Copies of this chain bind each other. A is one copy, B any other.
Amino acid sequence: MEKNQVPDIVVARLPLYLQTLKTLENEGAYNTSSKDLGQKLGISAAQIRKDLSHFGEFGKQGTGYSIKYLTECLEEILHVNKTWDMALIGVGFLGHAIVNFQGFYNQGFRIKCVFDSDPNKIGQIVAGFEIMDIKNLEATIKENRIKVAMITVHAENAQEVTEKLINAGVKSILNYAPIVLKVPTGIQVQYINPIIELQHMTYYLE
């Protein structure tokens, strides 16, 4: 497979390039350069050119990159030139905030269904979604062929939920619970963990 040749650390930067391109487009710009992107992102121009070179040639000498064209290319590379249906598991305060988040739209994602195990929550409507019983998780995810999920349950339940998700065919998990998930090869997991980020920063404080 060609994509195995691209280091994951390079792949991880592509969404940042895409984000910056979209900001530039919103500002009304049509063209940019590796130098410009690098300054905005705080990384070197050489690194951006090197990263992009793994996937093809997207620029022109002398004039740089067309924002529109490079955006389209990156969206295709990252497979966000389509919209991925997502499941959300755990409708506490955080899950509630995510369900109400407007920012997925036009970035390749939308929430399709939300689950909780609390009988008091099941059946309630949140931002237009009826909270479903977690007992129906596997059937519903299979039925809708959902490949992407977000976990916002307590740490104690995150591994169990993960296993159900994988059973149901989910391949990519964004985990907000503060625990490292055990998953088989081929399943992607990323973590969102404010405590980790805060503790990283306080190292540098007095």
Contacts and interface: CB of A to CB of B under 8 A. Distances in A.
Nearest to A16: B196
Copies in the complex: 2
Contacts of A199: 14-15, 18, 78, 80, 107-108
A205 B148 CA distance: 10
A3 B172 contact: no
Contacts of A19: 178-179, 193, 195-196
Given A11-B200, A148-B201, A203-B78, A101 B108 contact: no
A3 to B, nearest CB: 7
A97 B97 CA distance: 6
Interface string A160-202: 0000000000011110001110000000101111111111111
Interface of A: 3, 11-12, 14-16, 18-20, 23, 40-42, 77-80, 84, 86, 92-94, 96-98, 100-101, 103-104, 107-109, 147-148, 150, 155, 171-174, 178-180, 188, 190-206
Given A3-B203, A172-B204, A195 B93 contact: no
Given A40-B180, A107-B195, A190-B197, A202 B84 contact: yes
B101 A93 contact: yes
Nearest to A19: B178
Contact of A14 (B3, B178, B203, B205): B203
